[in-house]
Structure 1
Amino acid sequence: MRPDVSVLTAAHAAGATIARAVRSALAQEGVAVELVLCADDGLDYWALLPPELRDAGRIVLCRTPAPRSGPSLARNLALAAARAEVVACLDADDAYAPGRLRRLLAVVERHGVATGPTREIDAAGAVRTAAPRAGGDRLALEDICELRMPFSPAFVRHLCPGGWPAIQFAEDVILNVDLYCAAGVYPFVEGADYLYHLSEGSRTASPAALARARAGYREILALAGARPWPGPVRALVERVFREDLANVERALAAGAPGAAWRAAVREG
């Protein structure tokens, strides 16, 4: 039977968290889920899963041609292997709240794309929530770009057949801008929570985070001119990432540690 949703997961050094992510995807009720797991580190994630999660009928495994190929390539390889028309992203150190995919699927079938609240959870358990600043059931382009928080989408694959752009940082933001432009609207569904766990091993907390962000922001500014976006969309993206690039360069010049990326872009 063809799944309703293919969940795409890129995994790198995720042995400690992969079971939580997989369990949250396979436990989604009211929707037939396939999970496509792409290893970007050469690990055998099947062996790392507890026996009760090794469901060969629902989990597809693939891997990048070389370790550290990056999340964009890993997700795009997973996208190529996915069977469902609707796909959703789940990072290997994050989780879905119960009912997320069922709530999103009904909206995706009408509009082509949807997302829900992002609950950012730090190591102490403190939660910060990302949602439309104006309230309501639509995510504005300004929210996608200016909140500096990820919104994990579910979408019909023909809206963005190329998947994630080949850039080093903030590739999820550019994908969401592409989806916003392709669909003409970005529905937001309360209760469809994405649990975004901050960890020391994440890209944004790594020693190389600031340098990687600088390279990624430069790539975004270079590609913005070639994207088929309306002028106001391009102007917004360029403004936001010029601001972020300036903040990151200021932090690097001051000798800030790589893990200071979050403070640099959110607090300037």
Structure 2
Amino acid sequence: MVLDPLEMRHSLGRNLTHGMLDHLGKQIVIGAFENTPFPTEAELSKQLGVSRSVTREAVKMLTAKGLLSARPRQGTLVQPAANWNLFDADVLRWLLERKFSIELLSQFNQLRSAIEPAAAALAAENADDEGFRAIDAGFARMVAAEAGEDDTLSADIAFHLAILQASANPFFAQFRDVVATALRTSIRFTNRIKGRTADLDAHKAVKTAIEARDATAARAAMAMIIGDVNDLITQHSDVSTDPGQDTQPVA
């Protein structure tokens, strides 16, 4: 059923610009404009029941994310997927919410393999008191979640993000939003296979190595966690699952 402009406007939520950004971003990612020109600002404003200024801002944001480009006498064009900013949390979320892709999940885990063990090693070398407290708090949340006293998914993610931050490397810290976004899909998928919470002993090994300032052990412990996830993905690449459903983490 096609919504009329008033219904469409209501579906965008209170923040019209971000609602429109989310709506159009998802449409682009699923290929809604592959065989049709991207609408003009005037057409979008009419279709979605919003002002030209809201439309212009949403289009500008999509352009900044690499999904669109504006060219003289050609209008606004959808860019090929190779041009999309995969380090943008919105773009990654739209991709992951699209048709589930085990290939994309595997590629993300390859990125984790390159970043997180190195971040753990740096955290062992560079973490200050605040960094240690954040890692400890993240692990404490995981322990609490095991007892049903915290959200398992959020606790696991908090632990991994604390290590990125504790690395004291601003480039690694910039991966926080990307890692948080993609971890939600990765954790849900791997848990669908194992059906249990995260391996506390494996995560404690990372925490203990960082606290002992043993960079080699911290790197190896984190690599083991991610390696286990990669093995699951490889062994169960034919699994059909909806990563959007809430489950308990294993990574």
TM range (shorter): 0.3 to 0.5
- Greater Rg by CA: 2
Bigger strand share: 1
Q: TM-score, normalised by structure 1?
A: 0.31
Bigger helix share: 2
Q: TM-score, normalised by structure 2?
A: 0.32
